[in-house]
Chain A
Amino acid sequence: MTTANTADIRILGVGKTFGQGESAVRAIGDATLDMQRGDFISLLGPSGCGKTTLLRIIAGLERPSEGEIIVRNRSVWENGKRSAEATRPISMMFQEARLFPWFTVAENVALPLRLRGVSKAEREERAHVLCETVGLKGFEKVRPSALSGGMRQRASLARALITEPQVLLLDEPFGALDAMTRDTLNMELMSVCAKANVTTILVTHSITEAAFLSDRVVVLAARPARITEVVEMPFERPRTLDLQRNAEFQDMLLRLRASLTGDH
């Protein structure tokens, strides 16, 4: 590397092509980005711009066709294989809550600890604390099927946080929720991320959400998939929902919209 690696996450010339020859589809091309510890960035773009693919490459769920992902000085992909060491500090939340019906809410939340061999007593205690943090107190013993969509994502967030991750990857986790629940969860997410100083990458197609939550918004374009612009969000923290009514914030939304549609 040319510079000293002070960055928490480095995305270096990452590209991804699905298929070969005539039918090859370029999902993402030559993405480069550095993130500092505690940064909150959003990948904003229309559907088909490869934002989810890029996130999955960072998570080590998808192999990049070229380029490299460095998380805390370790390459996520070593010799074409997913590095367990590099991906260990990463937690991910998906579009669906992905809770398992054979576990109770608390067991779902504690699953990451169970897989790491943490004792039953300890994981029960930590799951209990986290359920309280995300507003699921009293629901520890029920099965996920008894929860509403918003509560399922709360449980999913608790599961992502229980390992005390240093990197949080979010793939439109609140996209399917109603606007009010979404606002509430976004506020909670922001405070949790700030408190724990996690480096966060959020994939979204909501301009407001991206602008409100992020330090920087990475605007992506489709066909060919690429990063078109990285825009700073100069709003002070902690942020409240009132910020969304602020004129400066409104201007920023227009600026991002223009960037998305490509007319500068």
Chain B
Amino acid sequence: MGTDRLIRVALPVATVALFLIAWTVYVRTAEVSAFILPTPFQIVVAFIELVSDAEVWRHAMVTVIEAVSGFLIAVFLGITLGMAMARVQMLEWAFKPFIVCLQLIPKIALAPLFILWFGFGLESKIVIAAALSFFPVFSNALVAFRSVEPGDRDVFVMLQANPIQRFTMLDLPTALPVVLAGMEVAVVMSMIGAIVGEFIGGNEGLGYLAVAMLQELQVPGLFAVIVLLTLIGLTLYTLIAQLRGWLTPWHASVAGKTRDA
């Protein structure tokens, strides 16, 4: 057991270390220009420089606000519409074509249009983030609120539960694990949406900063921005995963993890 745990920690550390060493050796021996590919050490230096700049944190805040706002809008709309369509068959028949078409359009391609409609400020990026993260929440909610088993419904009918009780004690807890799984995907999509929006237009956010770094040929700085974006994405994802553990502790996906730890 003790050695098992040691190997579980040591092995990933070893592979990552090996990867970084191979990277450094390659850059040094092949004499790759720092404008193309800096060494991991140069990136670390650039990263420390980046995060000690207050201006960078302002940019980071902007990106987070865009992504999180877009995500929350997507969660609200996705759950509401998914739930409504799961309940009312007519609604699904009526609106499913629109939603499927919307999903088939590569929404990144709509980004310039949103900039045109909503301007260069935060709003357009929020809309892009929401558009990208809507579908995973919606489609999971639609499936989730459908997946209540008829036998479980029978129990609630026999117990004379009213519609509100049935919703809070049966439909909602049944749906939550699947809805939260959709939200885990969606929160990552919302970051992508915010960054793409910043690439295209505007003068703030980490996406904008990345483009600026590229134009100044500060390649280690560009890598540092990517690292920062990754860390922010990881934090958001972890928050949702935590929320899942907190809201649905009974679910196999959560129970398995806690047993592991």
Give chain A's interface residues, CB within 8 Å of chain B. 59-61, 82, 84, 87-88, 90-92, 94, 96, 98, 100-102, 111-112, 114-116, 143, 145
Chain B proximity of A112: nearest CB distance (Å):
5
Please give, as numbers and ranges, the residues of chain A lying within 8 Å of B255 by CB-CB distance. Answer: 145
- Residues A101 and B155 in contact in the complex (CB < 8 Å), given A87-B160, A88-B160, A115-B161: no
Q: Is the CB of B160 within 8 A of A94?
A: no
- Residues A100 and B173 in contact in the complex (CB < 8 Å), given A87-B158, A88-B160, A115-B159: yes
Q: Mark B139-159, 1 if CB is under 8 A from A, else 0.
A: 000000000000110111111
Q: Is the CB of B161 within 8 A of A102?
A: no
Q: How far is the CA of A24 from the CA of B248 in the complex (A)?
A: 43
Closest residue to A144 on the B side, CB-wise?
B250
Q: Sample 13 A-B pairs with CB under 8 A, ordered by A number.
A: A59-B158, A84-B160, A87-B158, A94-B154, A98-B152, A98-B155, A100-B173, A115-B156, A115-B161, A115-B162, A115-B169, A116-B160, A145-B255
Q: Which of B86-137 contact A (CB under 8 A)?
A: none
Closest residue to A160 on the B side, CB-wise?
B158
- Residues A101 and B251 in contact in the complex (CB < 8 Å), given A84-B160, A92-B158, A96-B151: yes
Q: How far is the CA of A145 from the CA of B138 in the complex (A)?
A: 29
Query: Within the complex, which residue of B157, B165, B173 is in contact with A102, where a contact is CB–CB below 8 Å?
Result: B173
Q: How far is the CA of A58 from the CA of B170 in the complex (A)?
A: 24
Besides the known contacts A94-B151, A98-B151, A115-B162, 12 further A-B residue pairs in the complex with CB atoms under 8 A apart = A90-B158, A91-B158, A92-B154, A98-B154, A100-B152, A100-B169, A101-B250, A102-B248, A115-B161, A116-B160, A143-B250, A145-B255
Please give, as numbers and ranges, the residues of chain A lying within 8 Å of B248 by CB-CB distance. Answer: 102
Q: How far is the CA of A98 from the CA of B169 in the complex (A)?
A: 13
